[in-house]
Structure 1
C-alpha cells in the first residue's frame, strides 16, 4: 500500500492504539518522511564542542544527506552540504579536521569553510572569475543551537528551534547542570551501529519502558543493576508525552525515593569525592537535587536520544536500514565522572557491549516480522485506560505504558498529513 499521493490516508494507517505495518516497510512512505520530517523540520546535527576551534570541521548527516559542520575563523558555525557544486563529488571524506578551505578531489574546486567558492583551476574555461557567483556549497537553510546542541532545518520558515523543542528544553538544562561548569562536551568519539530496520523501530524503542526487564535481563543480572526494577508497574517512574513528538521515561520519582546522590549512576558520593565536591561548590544547595535526580532519559524527535550517560543519534538510510551513532557524554570540569561515563558506555553499547546488541536484535526481528501479511496492525494500546495529565499539562502513564509511542505517532500523523509549506 502506498500513500505518497494521498496525505489524508495517513489517518487510516495511524489509529488510536494501533499503527499499520506498511508504515515501516513502504519505500514510498519512507521517501515522503524524508521530505516532510527530515528535510522540513528541525533535526539534531552535532554539538558545538565538536568544532571547538576556528576552522574545525566534522562530517555529520541529516538523514541520508552528508553534512559538513564547520566553525569559520570568526567563530560562526555552519552546516554545509557535502556535495561539490560542480559535479556532485563529496568534498569531505575525512571525518574531521581543521582547515580554512575544503578542496574537491575530482577537479580541484576549493571552498571556504563558510561554503563560499574560492576558485577553480583553469578559470578561463568558465570565462573568468565572474562565473564563481552562486556556485558555493549548498547549505542547511536554518541553523540554531540550544545549550551547544546544533540543529538544522532545510525549511525557509516555520517554528523556531525553541518552539520545536518546547518542554524538551528541560532535558538539555538538566544535562548541563551535571557539569560543574555548566557545559556538555562531545569529545569521546563515536561508534556506529547499522541495523536492518526502519528508523521508527529505533525511535519508538528509546523511551519504551515495557521491554527492559525482558530484553536486557541478562545485563541487569551480570551488572547486579537495579535498573530493571525501575521499569515495572510497581515503579513510581512515569512515561511522558512532552509534545512535538518528544518523549520521556522520567525516573526521578524512583531516584528521589532512594534519596542517594549519584544513586542514578549506580554509585555513591564517597566513591566520587572530587566530582561531588566540585558540584557542591558550583551549585550550592541545588547540587543535592541535581546529584539525586541525575541525567534525563529523553527522545528528542526525530533523531536525538539523551540516554543518561550516552547520546544516540538516529540516521535513516533506507526504509529498512538505520544507523545509530552513539557516544559517551562528557562534562566540563568533571574528569572523575567522565572516566566512568566512558567505561560504562563501552560496556553497554561498545563493540562487545551488551545493551545495544540486545536492542539491535529486537529491531531486526521486528522488521522481519512486520513484513508478514497478517496481522496487518501493530498494537500500541498499553495504558490507554490509565493515562493522566500531570501538573504541567503533559500526558503521563506508568513506566511500562506506551504513552511515548502514541505521542510519537500522533505527532508523526500531524507532520505527514499537513499541507506542505
Structure 2
C-alpha cells in the first residue's frame, strides 16, 4: 500500500480531549493501516481453530485477508491470501483442511507452507524459478497461551513485550478452564457497523455508559449488573499500557464472595464444572477462580474479551467495521460451555440485546463526529482520582475514562513514531 498523504495527528490529540477528525478522515485511516495495523502486533486467531495438521481458517489483519494455517510441518503460520500471479484471492472458503491451495483463476498450486508447487500448462514457464513466486508471508507470528498474533513488521518488540500486563488477564481467563485452555468451537457471528473502529475500541472498557445505554436490558431481565457501573461500585478501570485496557470487576465479586455470581449462576447449577475445577485446582483455589470470574479486557487494537464472549474488530473502511464475535468455550467444561453459548446468543446474537444497544451508539457517534461544532471530544472524567495500583498501572473508578486516555496515548505514540 503506498504511503498516505501526511497528516500530523499530534495536533489532534491532547491529554484529555481528541478531535473529531480522527474518526472520519480518510487520510488518517490510511495512516492507521500503515502505522498500527500493518506495523504492530494484531490478534489474528486461536490455535484451537486449526487443531489438526493441514487445518486452515481465513482471517484478517485489518482489512487484509490472511490464512491462519496449521501447516504440513506442524507449524502455525500466517500467509497472505493472494495469488502472486494475477492477485486473485487464493482461498474463498472460510475453513477447511488442505495441504495445498489452488488458485481458481489460472490453477497455480501452492503448498500450505507457501511455496509454489506447480503451474497449470507448465510448458509456458520453462526455465522459470518457482521459488520467486511463493505466497506472501506474515513475517512474525507470536503465540501466547493459544492466542495467535501477527505482525507485518520484520522486527520490533516480542509478543510478550507487546502484551505486558495484559497477559495476566489472559491467564485469568484460562484459569476458568479445568484444563487451562480455550476451544473456540462455537463459530463466529459477523456484525457490520457503519462506524469507525476506534468507537468500538474506546467503548469496550467504558464503564460510564452501561447504566444508561443498557438500562432497558437490565430492567427487563431484573439484573443487578447495572449497579456494577454506578457511583457506588468498587470495580476499577485500568490502563496496562501499550493501548491495553481493562474493566476490572473482581473487587465487586470478591465483596460478594459467591462462586459463579459473576456468571449469574450458583455451584449447584453447574455441579460437573465445579467438580472438574476442584479436581484441577483444589477446592480453595477453584473457589477463588470461580469468585473472580472471567476478565473484561480490550487488547489493542482489536481483541476484546468480554467475560463470556470474545470480539475481534476488523476495520474495512474509515466508516465501516466488522465485529466478529464468538462464545468463549473452556476445555473440559461441557455444562458451563452450553450456558456460555446460550448467554452469548442472548446478548450479542442476531436478536441479542446488548450489541444492538452498542451498535446504535457507535453509528450515532460516527454521524455526530461529522458535525463541525463542537470539534473536540472530552475524555477528562476521573482525572483527579486517577492513581497507580500495586503493579504500577493507572487505575480509576469504574465510570472513569482511564482506559480511553490510555488508548489515545498509545495511539499517538504509534501514529507519530
TM band (smaller chain): over 0.9
Q: Is the 8 A contact 1:57 1:68 kept in 2?
A: yes
How many residues align? The count is 414
Hey, what does 1:373 align to over in structure 2?
372
Hey, what does 1:307 align to over in structure 2?
306
Q: Deviations over 1:250-272 (max 9, x none)?
A: 00000000000000001111111
Hey, what does 1:145 align to over in structure 2?
143
TM-aligned CA deviation for residue 40 of structure 1: 0.2
Q: Deviations over 1:348-394 (max 9, x none)?
A: 00000001010000000000011001001111111111111111111
Q: Deviations over 1:83-121 (max 9, x none)?
A: 001000011111000111111000000111111110111
Hey, what does 1:364 align to over in structure 2?
363
Root-mean-square deviation (CA, aligned residues, Å) is: 1.1
Hey, what does 2:180 align to over in structure 1?
182
Q: Is the 8 A contact 2:72 2:113 kept in 1?
A: no
Q: Deviations over 1:33-65 (max 9, x none)?
A: 000000000000000000001110100000110
Question: What is the alpha-carbon distance in structure 1 between the residues aligned to residue 165 and residue 69 of structure 2?
Answer: 29
TM-aligned CA deviation for residue 149 of structure 1: 0.4
Question: What is the alpha-carbon distance in structure 1 between the residues aligned to residue 144 and residue 222 of structure 2?
Answer: 36
Q: Deviations over 1:200-234 (max 9, x none)?
A: 00100000000001111111122222111111121
TM-aligned CA deviation for residue 10 of structure 1: 2.0
SS at match of 1:187: coil
Question: What is the alpha-carbon distance in structure 2 between the residues aligned to residue 181 and residue 287 of structure 1?
Answer: 12
Q: Is the 8 A contact 2:115 2:131 kept in 1?
A: no
TM-aligned CA deviation for residue 131 of structure 1: 2.4
SS at match of 2:165: helix
Question: What is the alpha-carbon distance in structure 2 between the residues aligned to residue 190 and residue 15 of structure 1?
Answer: 37
SS at match of 1:169: helix
Hey, what does 1:336 align to over in structure 2?
335
Q: Is the 8 A contact 1:225 1:266 kept in 2?
A: no
Hey, what does 1:385 align to over in structure 2?
384
TM-aligned CA deviation for residue 337 of structure 1: 0.5
Q: Is the 8 A contact 1:220 1:226 kept in 2?
A: yes
Hey, what does 1:402 align to over in structure 2?
401
Hey, what does 1:52 align to over in structure 2?
51
SS at match of 1:330: coil
TM-score normalized with structure 1 length: 0.97
Q: Which runs of 5+ in 1 are unaligned?
A: none
Q: Deviations over 1:296-321 (max 9, x none)?
A: 00000000001000000000000000
Following superposition, which runs of at least 4 residues in structure 1 exceed 3 angstroms of deviation?
A: 3-7
Hey, what does 1:272 align to over in structure 2?
270
SS at match of 2:237: strand
Question: What is the alpha-carbon distance in structure 2 between the residues aligned to residue 223 and residue 153 of structure 1?
Answer: 42
TM-aligned CA deviation for residue 6 of structure 1: 4.8
Hey, what does 1:166 align to over in structure 2?
164
SS at match of 2:373: coil
Hey, what does 2:233 align to over in structure 1?
235
TM-aligned CA deviation for residue 4 of structure 1: 5.8
Question: What is the alpha-carbon distance in structure 2 between the residues aligned to residue 195 and residue 137 of structure 1?
Answer: 31
Question: What is the alpha-carbon distance in structure 2 between the residues aligned to residue 4 and residue 232 of structure 1?
Answer: 43
Q: Deviations over 1:172-200 (max 9, x none)?
A: 11111111111111110000000110000
TM-aligned CA deviation for residue 124 of structure 1: 1.9
Hey, what does 1:263 align to over in structure 2?
261
Question: What is the alpha-carbon distance in structure 2 between the residues aligned to residue 310 and residue 260 of structure 1?
Answer: 21
SS at match of 1:69: strand
Alignment counterpart, residue 204 of structure 1, candidates 198, 202, 224: 202
Structure 1 segment 128-143 matched on structure 2, within 5 A: 128=127, 130-143=128-141
Q: Does 1:115 pair with 2:91?
A: no
Hey, what does 2:413 align to over in structure 1?
414
Q: Is the 8 A contact 2:5 2:27 kept in 1?
A: no
Q: Does 1:126 pair with 2:125?
A: yes
Q: Deviations over 1:108-139 (max 9, x none)?
A: 001111111101111121224x4212201101
Indicate the larger mover: 113-122 or 330-339.
113-122
TM-aligned CA deviation for residue 417 of structure 1: 0.7
Hey, what does 1:75 align to over in structure 2?
74
Q: Deviations over 1:12-48 (max 9, x none)?
A: 1100210000000100000000000000000000000
